[in-house]
Chains A and B, each alone.
Chain A
Amino acid sequence: MALDKIGIAKRIAKEVQDGSYVNLGIGIPTLVANYVRDDISVEFQSENGVLGMGPFPFEGEEDADIINAGKQTITTLPGASFFDSALSFSMIRGQHVQLTILGAMEVAENGDIANWKIPGKMVKGMGGAMDLVASAENIIVAMMHTNRAGASKLLKRCSLPLTGVGCVKKIVTNLAVLEITPDGFQLLERAPGVSVTEIQEATEGHLIVSGDIPEMDI
């Protein structure tokens, strides 16, 4: 069965390494924080200027001056710090943040990503996404394998305006875990009960299947 958003977040949480600073995008990536193992040390950065983000505050304890990049009220954990936007992007551009997890509208087999604009329809802006994808050592995309119309989001080439070129390393969807390689999307894992054929049919870009593909362990 295909994963839901929480399933995707749980699988991505396993990619988070001990001792790493991680930036989480809005949407599914935000959920990842809830499922990271509690025996490892990780700090979450939010580009509006906080490192060491904690959970949402208890009711009545919200502070308008403490929010995340999604403008949600948050708390901080021991060891947290606040800083300005230039310093925040120094952390990102300077590759001090090791892992970026973000959503996408399209990913191409060469690692290009599009997630900020649908010409004539939706223009919200790129926020910090272009800085993040241009700089992070490791970029994992969290998204559904197909869009609402059922069309593949894993393409030969992106059709929407790009956010970054050749930058995505790994993709976790409701159907599969895939790695970007010079030859295309290497299928690493299947969602429980999802067949390679189903993944193949939902993938427009070049899918590389070598040997038996294990099911995700969530």
Chain B
Amino acid sequence: MIRKKVASVQDALQGVANNQTLMLGGFGLSGIPENAIAELVAMGVTGLTCISNNAGVDDFGLGLLLQKKQIYKMVSSYVGENDEFERQMLSGELDVELIPQGTLAERCRAAQAGFPAVYTPAGYGTEVAEGKETREFNGKMYVLEYAFKADFSFVKAWKGDEAGNLIFKGTARNFNPCMCGAANITVAEVEELVPAGELDPNQIHMPGIFVQRIFQGEKFEKRIEQRTVRQKS
């Protein structure tokens, strides 16, 4: 067994520096690496390029890094729900690259899987495809999209073991598996870290080979963005 366990979030983020490119898992506030984000705020690193489907809300998730102006560029598919983000984007303080959600997932997966680029039909004929190579396959047009390159990938899983194997829960899975192994160093934080051998190999969603460091998250707030319920009749 190759041990991936580190003792703390500080150990897990060793090597993070200004001007790096980071991938961060999560959809909305679901499945975001809360502990890594809190530590990035504490470290005060700046000039970051963040690849993440969303940009958090004003006071949680990546919104915390935006507030401190630690982010130089966001690469996302959807950035509503964040006033500070909108302000920084419209004033030109923040560089933003908006890309289709499936393209975002696939550019992560391509980096993980060793593909330099992929052809996708998404965005053909729109401003997303401007300046990009296009090609026809079987009568349909596709856009060439390159694999991401990133220094660190921060993911969040439900359970993990010392070997770095991960199990996700519900829709908190989202981009997290796609970002494992897609950066030079993948850091996983989990709600429950167990000794190797305790997780059933049949149930592993992401094998530990894609993870370099794993740690038990100290605190998970798991904030709900849109609480919707129905009444018992």
Q: Write the residues of chain A forming the contact surface with B, with a CB cutoff of 8 angstroms.
A: 46-50, 55-74, 82-86, 88-89, 92-93, 112, 120, 123-131, 134-135, 161-166
Contact = CB atoms under 8 A, between A and B. Distances in A.
Nearest to B112: A86
A135 B77 CA distance: 17
10 nearest CB pairs, A to B: A89-B102, A131-B102, A165-B125, A65-B170, A130-B100, A124-B80, A85-B105, A71-B28, A134-B121, A64-B222
Nearest to B27: A48
B126 A67 contact: no
A34 to B, nearest CB: 11
A189 B231 CA distance: 36
Contacts, number: 186
A128 B125 CA distance: 16
B173 A83 contact: yes
B212 interface: no
A49 B173 contact: yes
A202 B29 CA distance: 40
B106 A86 contact: yes
Contacts of B122: 93, 130-131, 134-135
Nearest to A85: B105
Contact of A84 (B121, B175, B232): B175
Contact of A127 (B89, B101, B120, B226): B101
Interface of B: 27-31, 53, 76-81, 86, 89-90, 96, 98-106, 108-109, 120-128, 158, 168-178, 205, 222-232
Contact of A130 (B90, B126, B223, B230): B126
A129 B224 CA distance: 23
Contacts of A84: 105, 168, 173-178, 205
A65 B31 contact: yes
Contacts of B174: 48-49, 84-85
B170 A82 contact: yes
Nearest to B82: A124
Contacts of B173: 49, 82-84
Contact of B229 (A56, A125, A128, A134): A56
Given A62-B227, A66-B171, A126-B98, 6 more contacts: A70-B226, A85-B105, A93-B120, A123-B89, A124-B79, A126-B77
A48 B226 contact: no
Nearest to B53: A85
Tell which of B80, B98, B122, B224 has the most Cβ of chain A within 10 Å.
B122
A67 B230 contact: no
A86 B175 CA distance: 7
A72 B90 CA distance: 27
B226 A73 contact: yes
Given A123-B79, A125-B80, A48 B171 contact: yes
Contacts of A134: 120-124
A100 to B, nearest CB: 12
A166 B227 CA distance: 36
A166 to B, nearest CB: 8
Given A71-B30, A84-B173, A89-B106, A64 B223 contact: yes
A55 B158 CA distance: 24
Nearest to B125: A165
Contacts of B98: 123, 125-126
Contacts of A128: 77, 100-102
A82 B224 CA distance: 18
Given A71-B28, A134-B121, A86 B128 contact: no
B186 to A, nearest CB: 14
19 contacts: A48-B28, A57-B230, A62-B224, A65-B30, A65-B170, A71-B225, A82-B171, A84-B174, A84-B178, A85-B101, A85-B104, A86-B178, A88-B105, A89-B106, A124-B78, A128-B100, A134-B121, A135-B122, A161-B126
A163 B121 CA distance: 12
B170 A66 contact: yes
A101 to B, nearest CB: 17
Nearest to A134: B121
Contact of A93 (B102, B108, B128): B102
B190 to A, nearest CB: 13
